Structures are given as C-alpha cells and as structure tokens.
Amino acid sequence: MKKVITYGTFDLLHWGHINLLKRASELGDHLTVAISSDEFNELKNKEAYHSYENRKMILESIRYVDKVIPENTWEQKIQDVIDHDIDIFVMGDDWKGKFDFLKDYCEVIYLPRTVGISTTKIKTDLFTVQNG
C-alpha cells in the first residue's frame, strides 16, 4: 500500500483544497492530512477561523482523506513520515524546494495550486465586502 501525506491549515475549506486532496489521494492508496493545531498556528502568528477540532472533523468527512493528524511543529515532518510509513510527501508548488530534505525518507511532490482561489483571497474578499 502506498501512503501519501500533506500538510496545511485547511481553514475556510474551498474547492482548491478539495482539488489538492483529490490529486494527493490519487498518488497512493492512503492519504494522511496533517493540519496545523491551534497552538502551532499561534506560533506562526496565524489565526484560523475554525478551531483545530472543527477543521479535523471537516477533513475527516472528505472521501479523499483517510487519516487526520495534528501538526504541532515545523520539525515533526521527518518523524511523521517514519511513524506513518509514508511513501510520498505532497505540498502545493508555492512551497517548491522547502521540503526537499524529506527526499532522504520519501518521494516529494509539489502540486500546482488551483488558480483563482485561496484562503487568503477569501479572507481579503470578505474583509473588502464588510468594510465597503
């Protein structure tokens, strides 16, 4: 069985997220998604709209996702790959090169982002609408 892992906050879930999860799941037989914990987001000076528990519940209901685990630190990725017997690490191509150190442990694939949508765009658009 070929296992795939990806990471992210997965806040304000949108069709770009679903597209990424679908493409990641098609690379193997099992997809694990590591989502940023609320504490990790705080360390990154990032605030999610939905709590970790709610984001986890949403992701667990998506048919492409087999398992959801917390991401608590930047450094945990090597251990996650080892602990979960991961064959392929997948991230959006805006991270290209940042995780090449994982190539000693698994295949690393950077997928193109879905054009025209992002959580940042949604937040910006909502802020613009709210503030005229």
Q: Are 14 and 117 in contact (CB under 8 A)?
A: yes
Task: Please tell me the distance from the alpha carbon of residue 116 to that of residue 66, in angstroms, as a whole number.
Answer: 27
Of 68, 66, 64, 55, the closest CA to residue 22 belongs to: 64
User: Is 44 considered catalytic here?
Assistant: yes
Candidates 2, 3, 22, 44; catalytic one: 44
| Other CB atoms within 10 A of residue 10 CB | 25
Candidates 46, 98, 103, 123; catalytic one: 46
Residues with a known catalytic role: 44, 46
